[in-house]
A = this chain, B = another copy of it.
């Protein structure tokens, strides 16, 4: 992976790789126990709450399972799964369990596409009739055995009692690195005549991730699966190929997602909402009938019923838009509540503010919420009208129904229904433009000569 991040922590659709495997196992009804080694603390943090055993130093797959032996129940079945097979589905594990029966070991197998069969390093499944007799490692395979297309995916179900009491204690290290192989347990089951195989039809589901190209393939595949589910539940996805929806997102019927939309984290989108192209929403709740227009970026926001946001709006954490309110282009909202039907349509910054119902925030309005040391609140009451290009120096309040004249800098509270304005009188000097142009042109000439 050429990465500072442990392989199994790389995210896929917003969830660490290992968690996809954990989730599949849990959905198949398994209790999950982890064996962690590389970046152990980070892996444990990413799978919060799961019991884990530490394997340190790493001494092979058999050793890894042995590390967890004490945590296993005395009897029953255990599935052994690598953390880097994020595409595995619960149904597949259920099928493995269903086929296990009285075997000591059941290996999940798949068929290689023919092209790869000659060169693949996977262990081949040797059968006599239906019965599996053994698994031969690629390196030890005869020319005939190398023709076998059924291979070992490395996913197993074991009889726990047998594995823990009879097999793990007797594993022997293998040269060159003195590692303990889990395949020895498989071999022991074969020798006992109680090895089985369950053939899975789709080998790519069981592929391990070993570089970022495979990571990208896995993400595309998991994404397709998520989107297919949402489409079947009534979400219109204009272009599934360019749409990115995290596993943790919740959508509803008659939601429409435009091309190149990205939905992340705990985003929920209610019925009938339209999310325009190129929008990015993270941890944002959108209520029924709202519309988020193209190119808007929302994080930690709450967009009420029937609101219209964007295009090119930015909602940040704590932005709360009550019913029917409106945030337009080049407007940033942070820790601010917009009351019902309130509007901030153009080029504004509202931070640490409350805006009452029906208030109109003019273009170019800025809440000066930061004084270099702390943040301060601005309160705009219902029905107020903030003229364009106004600076509101917090802490400050504008009363209900008040009007602020365009271009003002409001430093003192404004009572209900008052007019406030801080505007120098316009001076108009007829014919004066010519001399200014002359001066500026001269200055430009001089600058050019200087350089």
Contact = CB atoms under 8 A, between A and B. Distances in A.
Contact of A332 (B346, B390, B391): B346
Contacts of A425: 422
A363 B349 contact: yes
Nearest to A228: B213
Contacts of A364: 349, 364, 366, 389, 391
A447 B370 CA distance: 13
B433 A417 contact: yes
Interface in A338-364: 346-349, 360, 362-364
A444 interface: yes
B242 A259 contact: yes
Given A232-B213, A366-B388, A393 B374 contact: no
Interface in A193-251: 211-213, 215-216, 219-220, 228, 231-242, 244
A366 B389 contact: yes
Copies in the complex: 3
A3 interface: yes
**Is the interface on chain A under 10, 10 to 19, 20 to 34, or 35 or more residues?**
35 or more
A379 interface: no
Given A363-B349, A426-B411, A260 B238 contact: no
Interface in A393-426: 393, 401-403, 405-412, 414-415, 417-426
A432 interface: yes
A385 B436 CA distance: 11
Given A4-B254, A295-B280, A332-B329, A432 B406 contact: no
Contact of A421 (B314, B417, B426): B426
A277 B280 contact: yes
A285 interface: no
**Most chain B CB neighbours (cut-off 10 Å) among A370, A372, A405:** A372
Nearest to A438: B373
A407 to B, nearest CB: 3
A441 interface: yes
A297 interface: yes
B244 A239 contact: yes
A103 interface: no
A246 B292 CA distance: 20
Nearest to A262: B277
A447 to B, nearest CB: 5
Given A212-B234, A401-B433, A426-B409, A373 B219 contact: no
Contacts of A367: 388
A422 to B, nearest CB: 4
A212 B235 CA distance: 7
Contacts of A403: 372, 432-433, 436-437
Nearest to A238: B219
A190 interface: no
Interface string A371-395: 1111010000000010111110100
A107 to B, nearest CB: 27
A68 interface: no
A315 to B, nearest CB: 11
A434 interface: yes
A391 B407 contact: yes
A90 interface: no
A311 interface: yes
A152 to B, nearest CB: 26
A314 B231 CA distance: 31
A253 interface: yes
A334 B278 CA distance: 22
A405 B426 CA distance: 10
A430 B413 CA distance: 11
Given A219-B238, A259-B260, A418-B430, A387 B368 contact: yes
A239 B212 CA distance: 11
Given A212-B234, A374-B447, 14 more contacts: A238-B244, A242-B242, A278-B280, A294-B297, A297-B311, A314-B330, A349-B363, A360-B372, A387-B391, A391-B407, A403-B432, A409-B426, A412-B426, A421-B429
10 contacts: A241-B241, A244-B277, A362-B370, A368-B388, A368-B389, A371-B443, A372-B440, A374-B440, A418-B431, A422-B425
